[in-house]
Amino acid sequence: MRMAELSRESGVPVATIKYYLREGLLPPGERTSPNQARYGDGHVRRLKLVRALLDVGGLSIASVRDVLDAIDSGVHTHDTLGIAQRRIPLPTAQADDETRGWATAVVARIAAERGWKVTPGSPVVESLIGTLCTFASLGRTELVDRISDYADLAERTAEVDLDSVRGMSTMESVVEGAVVGTVIGDAMLMTLRRLAQQQVSARRFPRTG
Amino acid sequence: MRMAELSRESGVPVATIKYYLREGLLPPGERTSPNQARYGDGHVRRLKLVRALLDVGGLSIASVRDVLDAIDSGVHTHDTLGIAQRRIPLPTAQADDETRGWATAVVARIAAERGWKVTPGSPVVESLIGTLCTFASLGRTELVDRISDYADLAERTAEVDLDSVRGMSTMESVVEGAVVGTVIGDAMLMTLRRLAQQQVSARRFPRTG
């Protein structure tokens, strides 16, 4: 199909498609003349993925490019989630040594409680330490006080996640599935959390007259 | 304190502080001469909050301003979480009527299963429908197939969240606590999910020599 049809099929404006082509988020079409190229269903699919990662996942252009590289490398291993995880950025935060020491001890305690193996210095551990330091710098450690409960719920969530990844093993790209499950999954869990908060809040504080 | 000291105390560069002042993210200091102003501990605290919401929470400048307005309005009601929720943006997604119909039915089923009261058209319901549509448009509905499990875990998470909010009731600003718990809490839960995925993955697929 031509650019105009690709735009219709994907719902992405032509100017935006051209931008993605320049940024390397979309492979070039098959050139049919100096000014025209032909695009296929793979381009439609890729455009939808790019939009999902940018708009719903909130990833940057650079992060999307990095994630797509991982998907296109065609790796199929049991480390699928690891590959997806390493390419998807996590929040980071600065902190003084004392606060970092406290946060590192919290993570070590959780790991010991649950028998988790954590790799000091790994991006996910650093990010977790960063969020704990952020709570501390704001003087708001109520959620950190309940981190054992949250860690327990995170483990149950991960069990469901891994069940999903297993179901993906027959699909086109396992890495793509893990990326979508992680990034769009985060968005789904975030909204479910909000919706559930409304329910629990209404139950605990019923409106009277 | 003067601007230079405010910068040292908060760890935020002077140029950035000036930018936040122009953008209305930080209230002006007390003017002591035409070219100088004095800042207090409240400014240090506010700067840390702004940085946390921007850097760790990933909020936009406009969203941070909106959230700060809610905090500064000084509301103290049982609808604290609601106020925080309405100001914190959620991902949205476009979809065709058929896909929207399917996603709306999924949300209705979950609500019926769990006795949740959902308000059709509310931002959080629209966002949830949007993420489900995103999964569908990508041909990846494995996580949606397990949404009952995720909804159950979200409700347990919300129970812990509400316990935390109760602990915040004596603090300076209840709305600030709810905002921090929601935004930085999302970041913490996201990293805990990644860390837990590593554990479950290692358990299910042990490396053999």
Q: Write the residue in B49, B81, B127 that is nearest to A197 by C-beta.
A: B81
Task: Quote the pTM value.
Answer: 0.89
Higher pLDDT, residue A8 or B80: A8
DSSP annotation of A28: -
Mutate to test the interface with B, among A90, A168, A193 (most CBs of B within 10 A): A193
Asked if A166 and A159 touch (Cβ cutoff 8 Å), the reply is: no
Give every CB contact of residue A184 below 8 A, 6+ residues apart in sequence: A52, A56, A57, B131, B134, B135, B138, B140, B143
| Whether A66 contacts A87, CB under 8 Å | yes
ipTM: 0.89
What pLDDT is recorded for position A14?
A: 96
Backbone conformation region of residue B74, classed left if phi is above 0, alpha if psi is from -120 to 50, else beta: left
pLDDT at A209: 43
Please state, rounded to an integer, the average pLDDT across all residues of chain A.
89
The answer to whether A126 touches A92, Cβ cutoff 8 Å, is yes
- Which amino acid belongs to residue B32? T
The C-alpha atoms of residue A188 and residue A160 are separated, in whole angstroms, by 14
Measure the CA–CA gap between B87 and B17, rounded to whole angstroms: 23
Helix (H) / strand (E) element for A209: namely none
Distance (Å, rounded) from C-alpha B50 to C-alpha B42?
12
Q: Is B181 on the interface with A (CB under 8 A)?
A: yes
Binding-face residues of B in 105-144 toward A, CB within 8 A: 114, 116-118, 124-125, 127-128, 130-132, 134-135, 137-140, 142-143
C-alpha to C-alpha distance for A45 and B76, rounded to whole angstroms: 47
pLDDT tens-place string over residues B72-124: 886 656 667 777 788 888 888 888 899 999 999 999 999 999 999 999 999 99
How far, in whole angstroms, is CA B20 from its chain's centroid?
20
User: CA-CA distance, A119 to B131, in Å (whole number)?
Assistant: 32
